[in-house]
């Protein structure tokens, strides 16, 4: 296995630049290109697409997956034999809502138990986080996907409840005079502005279609690609929003937000996917993450606010 070639390929894909890859490896750009070219000559097919954004081909992905596993195992071995241990790096792909709510509590507990691990968070939509583990860009991920990936383990962590909420002022303006589920209430839901996280966020539309059987007007929405700003805009009465309960426990308790429909709650299962590497410390750490995550999600889920799950 040509690990110099794999290092060059991995660096270009990671940094999206031959120049930056060369600086990282302390070699020339031409040397980076030559190493990748020799690797491709060995396998007889291209291993990356040579236009921005640089992406690995199917075989390139498999080789990078192998290279990431090798680096982890080498680092773990180094920890065992060196007096002064070097830091291990664990990359985790996780959805924005989990990262900005419950997962930080889990990470703090696990990080204290493993001070030599350096954590690298990759935030994306819950529908897309699994791609990072498949492409070798992460060793683990939080995803709503149930599928088991090759050479990976999958564990159900629990679920996140999403509530359709609005500020008190917004509720009074659009919904107070209508009975939940009535024709006039549904008309208010259609006509009132709503919030969405970003262009990739289809969850709000999916929930509206499931529970109320209409598709929201994309021209009647605010886009706020920040968990903090998203909640702030909702609190400031710019629109109603689908927000994870984990993020609004305080606001619900203090009456700053109103649940528009207490009978319809979107429950999203969350799974922990991780590469099944033959390293005892790595497996123990994953078990600890799973245990803490399950406990935190169960605690949040038990706070009902008089809600009925669907």
Q: Residue 307: what pLDDT? A: 42
Do 123 and 241 lie in a common domain? no
Do 261 and 273 lie in a common domain? no
Residue 14 resides in a domain: no
For residue 255, CA distances in Å to 96, 130, 230, 250 come to 25, 36, 18, 8
Do 290 and 273 lie in a common domain? yes
Do 168 and 257 lie in a common domain? yes
Count of all residues that appear for the chain in the document: 310
HSE of 209, CA atoms in CB hemisphere, 13 A: 8
**How far apart, in whole angstroms, are the C-alpha atoms of residue 246 and residue 163?**
10
First to last CA, the chain: 52
Q: Residue 3: what pLDDT? A: 77
Q: Residue 185: what pLDDT? A: 92
Do 228 and 199 lie in a common domain? yes
Do 90 and 119 lie in a common domain? yes
Residue 17 resides in a domain: no
Q: Residue 197: what pLDDT? A: 82
CATH code of the domain containing 65: 3.40.190.10
Task: For 239-262, write each residue's pLDDT tens digit.
Answer: 999 999 988 988 988 899 999 998
Residue 225 resides in a domain: yes
Residue 97 resides in a domain: yes
Do 278 and 152 lie in a common domain? yes
Q: Residue 87: what pLDDT? A: 61
Do 198 and 62 lie in a common domain? no
Do 191 and 241 lie in a common domain? yes
Residue 26 resides in a domain: no
Q: Residue 151: what pLDDT? A: 81
Burial of 246 (0-12, 13-18, 19+ CB in 10 A): buried
Do 76 and 222 lie in a common domain? no
Do 209 and 256 lie in a common domain? yes
Residue 207 resides in a domain: yes
What domain count does the chain have?
2
- Which parts of the chain sit beneath pLDDT 50? 83-85, 306-310
**How far apart, in whole angstroms, are the C-alpha atoms of residue 18 and residue 47?**
15
Cβ–Cβ under 8 Å, residues 301 and 265: no
Provide the residue range defining the domain that includes 239: 161-266
Q: Please report the DSSP string for 270-305 in residue order.
A: EEEEEE--S-HHHHHHHHHHHHHHHHHHHHHHT--T
Q: What backbone phi and psi angles, to 5 degrees, belong to 109?
A: -65, -45
Residue 39 resides in a domain: no
Do 283 and 255 lie in a common domain? no
Residue 15 resides in a domain: no
């Amino acid at each position: 296995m040509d690990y110099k070639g794999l290092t060059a390929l991995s660096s270009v894909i990671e940094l999206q630049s031959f120049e930056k890859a060369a600086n990282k490896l302390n070699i020339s750009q031409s040397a980076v290109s030559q190493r990748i070219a020799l690797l491709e000559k060995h396998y007889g097919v291209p291993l990356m697409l040579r236009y921005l954004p640089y992406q690995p081909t199917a075989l390139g992905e498999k080789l990078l997956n192998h290279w990431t596993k090798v680096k982890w195992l080498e680092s773990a071995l180094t920890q065992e034999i060196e007096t002064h241990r070097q830091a291990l790096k664990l990359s985790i792909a996780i959805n924005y809502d989990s990262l900005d709510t419950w997962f930080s509590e889990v990470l703090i507990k696990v990080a204290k138990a493993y001070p030599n691990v350096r954590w690298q968070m990759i935030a994306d939509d819950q529908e897309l986080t699994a791609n990072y583990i498949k492409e070798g860009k992460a060793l683990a991920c939080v995803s709503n996907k149930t599928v088991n990936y090759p050479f990976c383990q999958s564990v159900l962590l629990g679920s996140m409840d999403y509530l359709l909420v609005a500020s008190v002022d917004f509720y009074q303006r659009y919904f107070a005079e209508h009975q939940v589920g009535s024709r006039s209430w549904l008309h208010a839901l259609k006509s009132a502005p709503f919030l969405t996280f970003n262009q990739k966020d289809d969850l709000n539309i999916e929930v509206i279609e499931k529970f109320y059987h209409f598709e929201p007007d994309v021209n009647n929405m605010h886009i706020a690609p920040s968990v903090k700003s998203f909640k702030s805009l909702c609190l400031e009465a710019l629109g109603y929003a689908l927000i994870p309960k984990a993020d609004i426990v305080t606001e619900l308790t203090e009456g700053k937000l109103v649940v528009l429909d207490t009978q319809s709650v979107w429950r999203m299962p969350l799974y922990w996917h991780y590469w099944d590497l033959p390293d005892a410390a790595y497996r123990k750490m994953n078990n600890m993450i799973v245990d803490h995550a399950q406990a935190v999600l169960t605690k949040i889920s038990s706070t009902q606010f008089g809600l009925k799950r669907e």
